Amino acid sequence: MGPDGEMIIMKPYKSKEDAMKTLVITVISAVALLFSFAAQAETVKQKGLHDMHMMMRFLDHGLCSALEGADIQMLGQMGMSEKLDKDAVVHGTIMIKDGKAMIREMLDGKAMKALYQEGGFDKKIMDDLHDLGEKMITVIEQIEKLHESALRQAEGKK
């Protein structure tokens, strides 16, 4: 009821175009969801390739997390924000450690061991995946060394 006692009717959409946009988005989302169920791996080889693709995504995420952590850590080491510098160094360090651990888990963890047991993967791709993961670890370790050096230098140590 409005201030004068009249009934107020709320329209769910401002225009027919808004209603159509919502309907189209809903239908597209429903169709995409239905097709995603059909996109299951059909063979052992497809499942193996899918698993390796997922592992690649996790490797990528681990590296990105570690690099972002290094950036946050470096900002904290610069000492330009008294209130947040210590938190930035601590959180950046955690992100680096967790990113590196994620890569290690993908290379040596349960999912990888299960994939080796199941088979159905391309050996060349698997070797390349391991090689890439090891190179990612090398990059992260180099970043850790750089930050240790920078921190010692900032503290006046050598």
- In a domain, residue 133? The reply is yes
Helices (H), 11-122: 16-38, 44-77, 85-108, 110-118
**Using one digit for the tens of pLDDT, what is the confidence trace for 106-141?**
999 999 998 888 887 788 888 999 999 999 999 999
Question: Does a structural domain hold residue 24?
Answer: no
Residue 30 located in a structural domain: no
Report residue 137 as tokens.
Answer: 């670890």
Which residue range is the domain that position 126 belongs to? Answer: 42-154
Yes or no: say if 154 and 77 are a contact pair by the CB < 8 Å rule.
yes
Residue-wise pLDDT tens digits, 74-112: 898 888 888 999 899 899 999 999 999 999 999 999 999
In a domain, 76, yes or no: yes
CA distance 116 to 114: 5
C-alpha span between 8 and 84 (Å, rounded): 51
Q: How many degrees, rounded to 5, is the angle at CA 158 between CA 144 and CA 70?
A: 20
Does 3 reside within a domain?
no
In a domain, 68, yes or no: yes
